Amino acid sequence: MQPVTKPVSIGYSPCPNDTFIFYGLTHGKIDLPGTELATPILEDVETLNGWAMEHRLDVTKLSFHALGHVLDEYCILLSGSALGRGCGPLLVARSPLDLARPGRYKIAIPGRLTTATLLFRLFWSGYAQTMGGPVSRALRTAQERPELVEMRFDTIMAAVQQGQVDAGVIIHESRFTYQQEGLICLQDLGLWWERDTGYPIPLGCIAARRALGRGRILAIDQAIRASIDWAFAHPEQCLPYVREHAQELEERVVQDHIGLYVNDFSRELGPAGMAAIAAFLQRGRAAGILPPSCRALGPE
């Protein structure tokens, strides 16, 4: 008698890039021999980040920030990631802020473990250190660092508009709609990263528990790549599922989101993608935000 194998649990975000990527795999369009997938769980990425800290899912969408905390348990897949240029988080506000002025701003962040939060912390640290004179010294004191306020990503723009916070770090569809809400961009954090490092910004990945074993992990990776190819070949079949879960229903916003975040790096990270990820994690470790790790990024 063959042993009964437990279905592989899987979770990803309701954002258009993830639902577009996973539609084929989770709707019977892609074969995954020898592996049964459980019904997918769609949750905000920060919820998935927290679950990864508890090792709850076998295959999961993760922020690269969160990945840096769970590399002993999870490895990244070569397919399904969100990296790119011109697609990073934005720091927005109602009106211009003098970031050089001593004073403790309240900044909304889309979760403690999101890539956006780590990116903002790296930016602010570098910003304070490169300013000269007494202002720079003041900003390096604990009293003058910004107060980070955790919020769901889809509530940040309203909090900025209503004055609950001085500024907010926005992600996902908000990138395409913040100007319609009367907000301005103080800093494109992805552009700052690109100019500072030369690398594309690594935002999120699909990770698998190492306990699944190398063979099964590679099979799931290949199936996700096939699901991406299927989605690009049949976009009209994916769209109802994508729109069902999207925060913004305007078709242009949905299409722009997919076009920006599902790209060549999504299909295959490649050397450039892996180098960008390694640089991001190294900077997080150097800043004392991420723990050291000796595990490889991929399956071993």
Q: 97 with 175, same domain?
A: yes
Whether residue 77 is found in the same domain as residue 175: no
Residue 245 CA to residue 21 CA, distance in Å, equals: 13
Within-domain flag for 298: no
The pLDDT of 20-49, averaged and rounded, is 96
114 Cβ neighbours under 8 A, 6+ residues apart: 45, 46, 49, 63, 65, 66, 153, 171
Question: Is residue 189 in a domain?
Answer: yes
Task: Decide if 185 is inside a domain.
Answer: yes
Contacts of residue 204, Cβ cutoff 8 Å, sequence gap at least 6: 13, 45, 61, 62, 63, 64, 81, 82, 115
Look at residue 79 and tell me if it is in a domain: yes
Please give the pLDDT value at position 134: 40
Q: Which residues are designated catalytic?
A: 172
| Residues near 238 by beta carbon (within 8 Å), at least 6 away in sequence | 19, 20, 23, 24, 231
Q: Is the model's pLDDT at 128 over the cut of 60?
A: no
Same domain? For 118 and 133 the reply is yes
Mean per-residue pLDDT for 42-71? 97
Domain boundary among 146, 175, 197: 197
The string of pLDDT tens digits covering residues 129-154 is 544 434 444 444 555 678 899 998 88
| pLDDT at 1 (0 to 100) | 38
Give the pLDDT confidence score for residue 248 in this predicted structure: 67
For residue 103, the model assigns a pLDDT of 60
**pLDDT higher for 143 or 298?**
298
Query: Is the four-CA dihedral 268, 239, 190, 76 of positive or negative sign?
Result: negative
CATH of the domain at 69: 3.40.190.10
Same domain, 205 and 191: no
**Same domain for 166 and 94:** yes
Q: What is the pTM of this model?
A: 0.88
Please give the tally of structural domains in the chain.
2
Rg (CA), the chain: 20
**203-216 pLDDT, tens digit each:** 999 999 999 999 99
Identify the bridge partners of residue 147 per DSSP, sorted by sequence position. Answer: 106
Residue 219's Cβ-count burial label (10 Å; 0-12, 13-18, 19+) is middle
Rounded CA separation 280/122 (Å): 10
Position 268 in a domain: yes
CA-CA-CA-CA dihedral for 108, 112, 115, 118, to nearest 10: 80
Q: What is the β-pairing status of strands 10-12 and 41-42?
A: parallel
**Where residue 101 falls among pLDDT bands split at 50, 70, 90?**
low
Domain that holds residue 251: 10-85+201-286
* Same domain as 232, residue 107: no
- Residue 87 is predicted with a pLDDT of 87
Same domain, 174 and 107: yes
Statement to judge: residues 126 and 32 lie in one domain: no
Residue 280 covered by a domain: yes
Q: Specify whether the backbone of 59 is left (phi greater than 0), alpha (psi in -120 to 50) or beta.
A: beta
Domain match, 75 and 208 both:
yes
Question: What pLDDT does 3 receive?
Answer: 45
**End of a domain among 174, 197, 220?**
197
Q: Which residue has the higher pLDDT, 134 or 103?
A: 103
Q: Is the model's pLDDT at 286 over the cut of 50?
A: yes
pLDDT of residue 138: 44
Diameter over CA atoms, the chain: 75
pLDDT score of 5: 74
* 94 and 188 fall within a common domain: yes
Confidence of residue 252 (pLDDT cuts 50, 70, 90): confident
Same domain, 226 and 254: yes
Residues 133, 189, single domain; the answer is yes
Of 179, 197, 215, the residue that ends a domain is 197
